[in-house]
Amino acid sequence: MRYLHSALRVSELDATLHFFCDLLGFTLLRRSDHEKGRYTGCKLAAPGDMPGAESNNAPLLELVYNWDEKDYDNGRNFGHLAFDVDDIYATCQKLMEGGVTINRPPRDGFMAFIKTPDGISLELLQKSG
């Protein structure tokens, strides 16, 4: 068994792609519009996963935009997605400059929490070593 991806339903696809790609550095690998199902699917790879993503050996983030649904209940049962970053302070600074609120700043130099435009919690961890 191999972990493939996490899927997030999003209400504003452009804002979410900006958040992940422009601010966090993810790469959009595939985008597909499904007229019959009335949704758009996007597969993203985190910057550190790119070599594996290109060879289909890395986990991906899938964004699902349902054309006719705009409001999603963000229950706490989801939890959060976690990513390690090279420099937690520089990453948080870039996010703040992009208008993102840092819900839990990296006071200890190790961990920060932010939210996507749809209110999904992301944990950023300082890469060890």
Tell me the DSSP string of 80-117. EEEEEES-HHHHHHHHHHTT--EEE--TTSSEEEEE-T
Task: Kindly state the tokens that stand for 27.
Answer: 């790469």
As a whole number of angstroms, the distance between CA 40 and CA 63 comes to: 8
| Cα of 61 vs its chain's centroid, Å | 7
123 in catalytic set = yes
Catalytic residue among 12, 35, 97, 123: 123
- Positions annotated as catalytic residues are 123
